[in-house]
Structures are given as structure tokens and as C-alpha cells.
Chains A and B, each alone.
Chain A
Amino acid sequence: MATEVDSLEQVSDQGRLTVGPFQLNSRLIVGSGRYENATVMKECLELSGAQCITVAVRRERLHDADGENLLDFIDSEKYILLPNTAGCYSAADAVRVAKMGREILRALGNPGADWVKLECLGDSKTLLPDPVATLEATERLVADGFHVLCYTSDDPVTARRLKAAGAAAVMPAGSPIGSGQGILNPNNIRIILEYLKDEDSDYPVIVDAGVGTASDVAQAMELGVDGVLLNTAIAHARDPHRMAQAMKSATYAGRQAFLAGRIPKRLYASASSPEEGVIATHPYPRGK
């Protein structure tokens, strides 16, 4: 499954995504949910180039017809798993689920045991986070030794509070989870980056949720975020394999563009070809 952008190449000229003690070779983190089947999921994870895969913690189905487990399809030697607390609506539930995820990963010997993607939801229609419960859960999990990656809204004030509470990374949503609306308020993402990276330029900010297609990833990366976390945009694309590759390329392209530095936007044109020596006549006085 060769792709045009080799992950080692990404590392060599863009640096790793560093979150707490973890150093990831890819700035793209992908989820493992909502795929048509486990085989497609496995292939798409590979094509995305991601090294970190998010997973959810759920009750074991005691009488499973096929007896299949997610871990039969995700090589826990190859990927760093990032357990989430998806579906939790209170700090108490999120802390409980985080501890269960830690125990599963510890039993597996996966390095992801001590980190968690914290989701404390406030509303089932929007899946927007409850900022109060998220902050409380962050404090409790940090006290318990977790490296907490906080899913949050794009509110800069909440983002700052979560960092102050000890979050290892703050992960603002571009738009609601699974909505595919992209980055609805790039200005808020810019302000979050300014606030959180002030005198701490390595502090990781990751756009989590809302991505619909590759240009959304590129836009997020061009704003200067350290990484992007997405799931549905690949899993529900018409051709998930192709979209996984597109997301990988977009992550790389967006980061390159950020590092390269875009030109400022101007109201008027600025000719690329020299005016000197032009043979055409000019219909208006210069400057009009």
C-alpha cells in the first residue's frame, strides 16, 4: 500500500506530533468507528499513515455471534491506541471509563494506557462538550496520572482553562462531531493557538471533530494546529480507502503550507509578470 507521501519523510521535515510523553510520526490521528466492516477499517488506518488510533470502551457483548473483537483487527504492537470517553455526560462517568480504558491497554501492553481522549458531552443532539464537567474530569484525571487530551468547543477561554488544569493537549472541535461542516470559526482556532502557545510554542493543539473532507484538514493545519483527529470523514466517504490517502496528503500539505508561511491576502491584484517592457497600450492612467 505505497502512498505518495512516506511517513518517514513527514517526520524528517515536519517534526513529530508531541503530546506529553508521546511522539507520533503522523500529525493525523484517526478513529476506528463507523466503518462498513473491520477489514475496511484496518486498510484505511494503514492508508491514513496514522500512528495513533482512537478507540471506545463499551460493555463486552457476552454472547457475541461472531466472537470478533476490535483488537483482532488493530495491531496493538504497531499503533498507539487512544481510548476515549465518548458517550459520557458527567465527570464521574468519564473518569470511570478512562480508568477502564487504561486497564485494557495496560493488559495489552500498549503504550497508550496512560492517556485518554476526554469527552464530556453536554447535549446529545449537538454532541457539544459540557465545559464544566470537562474541566472537572480533566482535574481529576490529571491528579490520577493521566495525560488528558481534551475534546472541547472552539471557545478560547475554555481552552485556556483546560490547559491550566493540566491537559496534555487541547482539542477544539472544528464543528460538531460527525457533522462534516469543517472549520466553522477559524478565528477562534487562531485565538486558541495564540493563547495556548504563548511562551509555550510546543503546546499541542489538535482539531478534533467536524472535518468533512481533505481541504478541512489542510485548512486546520494551515492555521497552525499541531494535528487533526478525525473519523467519520474517512469511514463514511464513498471511497474510504481513497479518502484515507487524501487525509494523509492534506495533513502533510497543510503543515508544509503553515511552515512555509502564506502570503498576506490583498484586496487588489499584484502582477506576477513584469510591467517593464510590456508592449500593450494601457487604457487607464497608472494606478486606476
Chain B
Amino acid sequence: MVVHVNGKPIDIAAETTLAQLLLQLEITTRHVAVELNLEIVPFENHAKCELHDGDKLEIVTLVGGG
């Protein structure tokens, strides 16, 4: 199935969880916030959050800013 991460389509296995996707993308969970179809998924729920075909994810982190 295909999910969209930060606007880019990514092919992943069926029944992948959000935690597994982050692992696959080599993203440190504690440094990011994840929005799934415009709703924030609290980091405690990443492991039980199952993804579905066509899901839109935004993964954001902190960068330097004023």
C-alpha cells in the first residue's frame, strides 16, 4: 500500500504501524511530531497506530529559528 509522507508517496507493507514506519525511515521518535490525516498522533500511540492505504502523514521536527 502507499502512504504519503510529507507529500511524498512511500510504498509500505500492509498492516504497518506508525512506529514501524518511523523505524523504517530511521527517524528518532522523540524528535518529531506526527500528524495523520491532520490529527496529531501522540508519541505514546505510535506503536498501536495502524496505517492504511492513502493515509497522509506529516512528520515534523525542530530546526533553528527565531
Q: A57: which B residues are within 8 A, CB to CB? A: 33, 60-63
B65 & A54 in contact (Cβ 8 Å cutoff) = yes
Determine which residue in A38, A106, A229 has the highest number of CB atoms from chain B within 10 A of its CB, and name it.
A106
Alpha-carbon distance A41/B66, docked complex (angstroms) = 12
Nearest-neighbour CB distance to chain A for B44, whole angstroms, equals: 9
Q: B33: which A residues are within 8 A, CB to CB? A: 57, 99-104, 107
Q: B35: which A residues are within 8 A, CB to CB? A: 96, 100
Alpha-carbon distance A229/B11, docked complex (angstroms) = 44
Known contacts being A103-B33, A104-B60, A108-B30, is A32 close to B65, with CB within 8 Å?
Answer: yes
Complex interface bits, B22-46 against A, C-beta within 8 A gives 1, otherwise 0: 0001111111111100101011000
Alpha-carbon distance A232/B64, docked complex (angstroms) = 11
Q: A229: which B residues are within 8 A, CB to CB? A: 66
Nearest-neighbour CB distance to chain B for A276, whole angstroms, equals: 56
B66 & A84 in contact (Cβ 8 Å cutoff) = yes
A55 & B65 in contact (Cβ 8 Å cutoff) = yes
Known contacts being A59-B6, A62-B6, A103-B33, is A81 close to B62, with CB within 8 Å?
Answer: yes
A197 in contact (CB, < 8 A): no
Q: Which residue of A lies closest to B59 (CB)?
A: A60
In chain A, positions 227-259 with a C-beta closer than 8 Å to chain B are 229-232
Q: Which residue of A lies closest to B40 (CB)?
A: A103
Interface footprint category on A: 35 or more
B30 & A107 in contact (Cβ 8 Å cutoff) = yes
Q: B38: which A residues are within 8 A, CB to CB? A: 96
Q: Which residue of B lies closest to A87 (CB)?
A: B65
A223 in contact (CB, < 8 A): no
A56 & B25 in contact (Cβ 8 Å cutoff) = no
Q: B25: which A residues are within 8 A, CB to CB? A: 62
Nearest-neighbour CB distance to chain B for A43, whole angstroms, equals: 14
Among A32, A35, A59, A71, the residue within 8 A (CB) of B60 is: A59
Q: B30: which A residues are within 8 A, CB to CB? A: 107-108
Among B6, B27, B31, B65, the residue within 8 A (CB) of A104 is: B31
Nearest-neighbour CB distance to chain A for B60, whole angstroms, equals: 5
B64 & A55 in contact (Cβ 8 Å cutoff) = yes
List 27 A-B residue pairs with CB atoms under 8 Å apart, sorted by A's residue number.
Answer: A31-B66, A33-B65, A35-B64, A54-B66, A58-B62, A58-B63, A59-B59, A60-B6, A62-B6, A70-B61, A70-B62, A70-B63, A71-B31, A100-B35, A100-B40, A102-B33, A103-B40, A103-B42, A103-B43, A104-B62, A106-B43, A107-B29, A107-B30, A107-B43, A230-B66, A231-B66, A232-B66
| Sample of 4 further A-B pairs with CB below 8 A, known A54-B66, A62-B5, A102-B33 | A56-B63, A56-B66, A58-B62, A103-B33
Interface residues of B (CB under 8 A from A): 5-6, 8, 25-35, 38, 40, 42-43, 58-66
